[in-house]
Amino acid sequence: MQLSELKPVEVLARCPLFQGVSPDRLASLTPASEWLELTRGQTLFLQGDPVERLYLVAQGLIKVFRHDPRGRKQVVMNLAGPGQCVAAVALFLGNPRYPASAEAGEPSRILAVSGASFFRLVQQDHTLCYNLLRATAQHTGQIVQVLDRMVFREVDSRLAEYLLSMARIYGHSFKLPTNPEIAAIVGTTPEPVSRKLGHFSQQGWVEMNKRRIRITNPMALQKLAQAT
């Protein structure tokens, strides 16, 4: 099926947040949804904007990030690809403002769902409530993992873990973000990322073709990722 033929209910059904929710209830969100087409670098929302919608990635990549206090260095919080949602947890903040900014890391097609309509469905569907709690717990776990990586692990270990996490989502061949974006995620600078990727390639653990990578020895990366 071509992406242009996808219906909103099909995009919703592909997202783990909506797994187990009946098609009829998913269809109730369709009138409150619209498609957004973003070019690379185009803003989806800014930190501090009112939280009004939930976003589901149908195609492309959305980068969620914060700036340092001087507004210069980006700290990437998350990269959301096809089938993933953005801003679900933010909808339930006491002061509903986005805690981070989001922009397209590549040309992207996004399904934007009204936050009010999403709220109503949460109140009606226990499966969605459970899924949302699970997503919140996973989000908290990801933050703990980030702190663990930053404090206790070397750059090559953090990079290996990141590559394996991407492989779990996209398979063993996928397109890499830029080195500065990867550096922000694993807590380093672009130069070590470039060196470590080159080392992984020399060792035969990965194959690189411009920004596309294929993991050829996941066991070696797994061993490195578990090193402290």
**Is pLDDT above 70 for 78?**
yes
**Is pLDDT above 60 for 170?**
yes
**Is pLDDT above 50 for 1?**
no
Produce one character per residue of 149-180: b if its CB has 16 or more CB atoms within 10 Å, e if not: beeebebbbbbbbbbbebbeeeebebebbebe
Higher pLDDT, 151 or 69: 69
**Is pLDDT above 50 for 90?**
yes
Residue 67 confidence (pLDDT): 73
Name the most confidently modeled range: 23-32, 78-87, 151-160, 176-185.
23-32
Q: What is the mean pLDDT of residues 89-105?
A: 82
Residue 131 confidence (pLDDT): 85
Residue 34 confidence (pLDDT): 93
Q: What is the mean pLDDT of residues 106-121?
A: 91
Q: What is the mean pLDDT of residues 93-119?
A: 88
pLDDT category, 106, cuts 50, 70, 90?
confident
Q: What is the mean pLDDT of residues 16-32?
A: 90
User: In percent, how much of the chain has pLDDT > 90?
Assistant: 34
Q: What is the mean pLDDT of residues 11-34?
A: 90
Long-range CB contact pairs, 125-129, < 8 A, 24+: 125/21, 125/22, 125/25, 127/19, 127/20, 127/21, 128/17, 128/18, 128/21, 128/25
Residue 228 confidence (pLDDT): 59
**Is pLDDT above 60 for 4?**
no
Residue partners of 201: CB distance under 8 A and separation at least 6: 207, 208
Domains in the chain, ordered, with CATH?
3-149 (2.60.120.10), 153-225 (1.10.10.10)
Prediction pTM value: 0.68
**Is pLDDT above 80 for 198?**
yes
E strand residue ranges, 146-209: 173-175, 206-209
Range from 27-36, 143-152, 160-169 carrying the lowest mean pLDDT: 143-152
Residue 218 confidence (pLDDT): 92
The pair of structure tokens assigned to 5 is: 């033929």
Residue 196 confidence (pLDDT): 93
Residue 103 confidence (pLDDT): 92
**Is pLDDT above 80 for 227?**
no
What one-letter code names the amino acid at 10?
E
